[in-house]
């Protein structure tokens, strides 16, 4: 079987790992990379036996598929050019900055019969894959995604930078239509909000509280889910989970029987790229489709709108 020719646009913090994996996966070969920092691009390309390109049209003539790992503000313009050239696209989350841009990318992908996948990598976290079957009809979900300040991703609000991971995961659990969104946030180190708290209520009755921060002293990525038959906790960093099931002890006393779960050490990004390659080979819908990327982005913008209402105006 002929290997798929892969290229990576943007080889910074995330893009270098896309390049590493395309070079090592059996179904792909890394043809080239492109990055404004020519020195950085040369280091990555040399390491994996690939070519450095300085011109996007020349680059696109040599590849079947691309990973786009440029800053969020550039996702739409770069993805648009790639799709118009008939290339399969995996774009890091969020799919774009604005929902109108995201919807246009979905239409372009359909028109050119290209796979468009969005890099919501937590979908491929082994602990989420193991815990997902236990999430049935949640009543209350608490989501915490806290990171230390790195300076990366600050071209957009923390909602688009971090919280969108959890918004996508929540929507993947199929809670139904959104009924109400309340949110607030604070700007500390960036020109956009660095911390945000949102409360999303779904028509099903499920309520999701989300906290995202990129200025916390310690990183944390956890979920706590409460259902009518028990509860569960997920730690995305340690890849540990606990499933608590309602049980009846002798004498009729109610209790929670806890089962601890430890996921394997599979690399989420590797699983994500394998899924992308499979979708291309099989001409099938990717696990995180462009449409799902749009849905997460639209909900993120409802959070941003709610934040704009809640934050006091300067006088």
* pLDDT digits 0-9 by tens, 57-112: 999 999 999 999 999 999 999 999 999 999 999 999 999 999 999 999 999 999 99
> Would the pTM count as exceeding 0.75?
yes
Contacts by residues 77-83 (CB-CB < 8 Å, ≥ 24 positions apart):
78/9, 79/105, 79/116, 80/104, 80/105, 80/108, 81/56, 82/9, 83/108, 83/109, 83/112, 83/114, 83/116
- Mean local confidence (pLDDT), 266-271: 97
Cβ–Cβ contacts within 10 Å for residue 37, how many?
A: 12
Residue span(s) of the chain under CATH 3.30.360.10 come to 123-268+299-310
> pLDDT: is 168 or 312 the higher one?
168
What whole-number distance in Å separates Cα of residue 232 and Cα of residue 258?
9
**pLDDT at residue 315 tops 50:** no
Give burial (CB, 10 Å; 0-12/13-18/19+) of 278. Answer: middle
Superfamily of the domain at 4-122+272-286: NAD(P)-binding Rossmann-like Domain (3.40.50.720)
- CA dist., res. 204 & res. 202, Å (int): 5
Residue 312, pLDDT > 70, answer no
Mean pLDDT of 196-216: 98
- Alpha-carbon span 171 to 77, nearest angstrom: 26
Give the mean model confidence (pLDDT) for residues 188-202.
Answer: 95
In this prediction, residue 153 carries a pLDDT of 77
Per-residue pLDDT, 314: 43
- Determine what percent of the chain is predicted with pLDDT higher than 70: 98
User: For the segment 109-125, what is each residue's pLDDT rounded down to a tens digit?
Assistant: 999 999 999 999 999 99
Q: What is the token pair recorded at 23?
A: 């070079």
Sorting pLDDT into bands at 50, 70 and 90, what band is 252? Answer: confident
Give the Cα separation of 124 and 232 in Å (integer): 19
pLDDT band at 6 (very low <50, low <70, confident <90, very high): very high
Q: Read off the pLDDT of residues 26-56 as tens digits, 9 standing for 90 and up.
A: 999 999 999 999 999 999 999 999 999 999 9
Return mean pLDDT, the chain: 95
User: Is it the case that residue 301 has pLDDT exceeding 80?
Assistant: yes
Range of lowest pLDDT (1-15, 19-33, 126-140, 253-267)? 253-267
Give mean pLDDT, residues 259-280: 97
What confidence score (pLDDT) does residue 310 get? 61
pLDDT above 70 for 313: no
pLDDT of residue 155: 86
Indicate whether 208 pLDDT > 90: yes
The structural architecture, per CATH, of the domain 123-268+299-310 is: 2-Layer Sandwich (3.30)
pLDDT > 90 in the chain, percent: 90
What's the half-sphere exposure (Cβ side, CA atoms, 13 Å) at 103? 5
Q: Start-end ranges of CATH 3.40.50.720 in the chain? A: 4-122+272-286
In this prediction, residue 311 carries a pLDDT of 53
Average pLDDT, integer, range 170-192: 95
> Of the candidates 200, 230, 203, which has an alpha carbon nearest to the alpha carbon of residue 212?
200
């Amino acid at each position: 079987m002929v290997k798929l020719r892969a290229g990576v646009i943007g080889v910074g913090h995330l893009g270098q790992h896309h390049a590493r994996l395309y070079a090592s996966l059996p179904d792909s070969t890394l043809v080239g990379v492109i990055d404004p920092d020519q020195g950085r691009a040369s280091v990555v390309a040399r390491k994996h036996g690939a070519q450095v390109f300085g011109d996007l049209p020349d680059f696109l003539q040599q590849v079947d598929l691309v990973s786009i790992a440029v800053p969020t503000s550039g996702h739409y313009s770069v993805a648009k050019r790639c799709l118009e050239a008939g290339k399969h696209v995996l774009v890091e989350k969020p799919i774009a900055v604005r929902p109108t841009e995201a919807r246009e990318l979905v239409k372009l992908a359909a028109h050119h019969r290209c796979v468009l996948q969005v890099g919501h990598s937590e979908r491929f976290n082994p602990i989420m894959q193991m815990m997902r079957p236990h999430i049935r009809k949640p009543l209350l979900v608490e989501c915490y995604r806290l990171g230390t300040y790195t300076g990366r991703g600050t071209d957009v609000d923390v909602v688009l930078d971090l919280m969108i991971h959890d918004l996508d995961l929540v929507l993947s659990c199929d809670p139904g239509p959104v009924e109400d969104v309340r949110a607030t946030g604070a700007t500390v180190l960036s020109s956009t909000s660095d911390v945000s708290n949102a409360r999303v209520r779904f028509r099903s009755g499920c309520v999701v509280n989300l906290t995202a921060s990129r200025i916390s002293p310690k990183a944390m990525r956890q979920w706590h889910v409460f259902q009518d038959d028990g509860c569960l906790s997920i730690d995305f960093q340690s890849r540990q989970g606990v499933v608590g099931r309602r049980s009846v002890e002798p004498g009729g006393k109610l209790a929670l029987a806890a089962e601890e779960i430890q996921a394997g050490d599979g690399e989420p990004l590797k699983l994500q790229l394998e899924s992308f390659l499979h979708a291309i080979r099989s001409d099938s819908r990717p696990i995180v489709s462009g449409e799902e990327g749009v849905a997460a982005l639209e909900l993120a913008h409802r959070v941003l709108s709610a934040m704009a209402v809640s934050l006091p105006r300067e006088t």
